[in-house]
DNA sequence: ATAATTAAGGACAAATATATCCTTAATTAT
DNA sequence: ATAATTAAGGATATATTTGTCCTTAATTAT
């Protein structure tokens, strides 16, 4: 559904939010190893999320790394998609038509318009904090089993 | 959501199903112009759907082209995704985890598992013929407004 | 038979996404 | 101040997707 960039971003943000704080920042090495994503590539994706200045914070230098403020943890999962400009994956026409709407629908429109709001809600009505709460349940995971075997730089 | 290949394929198949029959085949030029997709690229995508030998039929030569049998029109929209191997777009883990299931869920799993069956149903429980029936309603379209201005080869 | 038409398919080109590497800048610890 | 650590960011590489072009094969009309 989403691009790899976005998958990595979602996992990385959740991991950072979970295992860090302003006191205990977490480095890209740790993050990328934990969520099974290539280090340098993940770094680039996270840069996009630090620039907006309202989701991830980062600090250079020793004991530096990434972290989320308590305020930032209240952000919805949808916000991550917005910043990465991947909302369209959910919102656009299933057949790829530019002009697909209630007045000018594609043949799938009337069915998809029932599902689209549920998909949006799944991200909008779920904050990062909500995910963190779930993650206290040890059966819920962010680790990518397959990729974790590969050595990333 | 889907790749351009798949978007083109979905639109092209529907157009061919609608405007052709064993008597009146339709050429790639007409199809690609109608649905606003690049001609040669669309041709390649349709080849995948003719090879399986059970969805699109094609005939070379004058008055040749593509068509669907009445039987083929009973095929579900999901079948198109299956042949193009794009089912995973709907079925795989939202966070891209290899191992994401009820026993080993990602933090989005329990929400997405309510929506996934609806997405599958949207394609599975909708035949090409169903779409054709809708297309008799003139407000429903397959034409891509933006792309149609571009000259494709 | 010949010419014309049309899909199949190979080869290649361009664009985009993914991934890596290296240098710089910022910060901290000593 | 100096050295060490870590993110930022530029440059480049690789892979994949998208798109084009040309030749071949199949079919039909004359």
- Give the domain ranges of chain B: 4-150
- Taking the CA of residue B4 and the C1' sugar atom of nucleotide D25, their distance in angstroms comes to 29
Token digits for B77?
A: 């929209």
Q: Which residues pair with B58 in a beta bridge?
A: B66
- Chain A residue whose CA is closest to B13: A95
Structure confidence by residue, pLDDT tens digits, B50-104: 997 789 999 999 999 999 999 999 999 999 999 999 999 999 999 999 999 999 9
* Secondary element (H or E) of residue B145: helix B145-148
What backbone torsions phi and psi does residue A107 show, to the nearest 5 degrees?
-65, -15
- Taking the CA of residue A117 and the C1' sugar atom of nucleotide D16, their distance in angstroms comes to 31
Measured distance between the N- and C-terminal CA atoms of chain B, rounded to whole angstroms: 26
Per-residue pLDDT at B53: 75
Cα separation, B95 vs B28, whole angstroms: 38
Q: How far is CA B55 from CA A62, B14, B33, B77, in A?
A: 61, 11, 21, 11
DSSP letters spanning B32-76: HHHHT--HHHHHHHHHHHHHTSSS-EEE-STT-EEE--TTGGGSB
SS3 assignment, position B26: strand
Nearest protein residue to the C1' atom of C16, measured from CA: A3
Contact between A9 and A45 (Cβ < 8 Å): yes
Does the B4-150 domain belong in CATH 3.30.70.580?
Answer: no
Enumerate the residues of chain A whose CB falls inside 8 A of the CB of residue B7.
95-96
Which nucleotides of strand C lie under 7 Å from a protein CB?
4-11, 17-22, 25-29
Which residues in range 113-152 of chain A are in contact with strand C, contact meaning CB within 7 A of any of its atoms?
A: 152
CB contact under 8 A, B95 and A134: no
Enumerate the residues of chain B whose CB falls inside 8 A of the CB of residue A1.
1, 89-90, 92, 94
The predicted model scores a pTM of 0.92
Closest approach of chain B CAs to the CA of A112, in angstroms? 7
Q: B65-67 and B57-59: which strand pairing?
A: antiparallel
Query: What does each of the 153 residues of chain A score in pLDDT, given as a tens digit?
Result: 999 999 999 999 999 999 999 999 999 999 999 999 999 999 999 999 999 778 999 999 999 999 999 999 999 999 999 999 999 999 999 999 999 999 999 999 999 999 999 999 999 999 999 999 888 777 788 888 654 444 444
Enumerate the residues of chain A whose CB falls inside 8 A of the CB of residue B11.
95-97
Q: How far is CA B1 from CA A147, B6, B56, in A?
A: 23, 10, 24
């Amino acid at each position: 559904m989403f691009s790899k960039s976005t998958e990595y971003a979602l996992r990385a943000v959740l991991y950072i939010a979970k295992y860090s704080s302003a006191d205990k920042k977490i480095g890209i090495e740790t993050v990328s190893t934990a969520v099974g994503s290539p280090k340098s590539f993940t770094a680039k994706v996270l840069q996009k999320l630090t620039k907006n200045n309202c989701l991830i914070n980062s600090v250079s230098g020793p004991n530096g790394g990434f972290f989320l403020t308590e305020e930032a943890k209240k952000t919805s999962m949808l916000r991550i998609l917005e910043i990465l400009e991947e909302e369209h994956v959910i919102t656009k026409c299933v057949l790829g038509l530019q002009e697909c709407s209630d007045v000018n629908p594609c043949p799938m429109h009337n069915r998809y318009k029932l599902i689209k709001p549920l998909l949006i809600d799944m991200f909008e009505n779920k904050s990062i904090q909500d995910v963190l709460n779930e993650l206290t349940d040890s059966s819920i995971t962010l680790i990518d089993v397959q990729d974790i075997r590969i050595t990333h730089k």
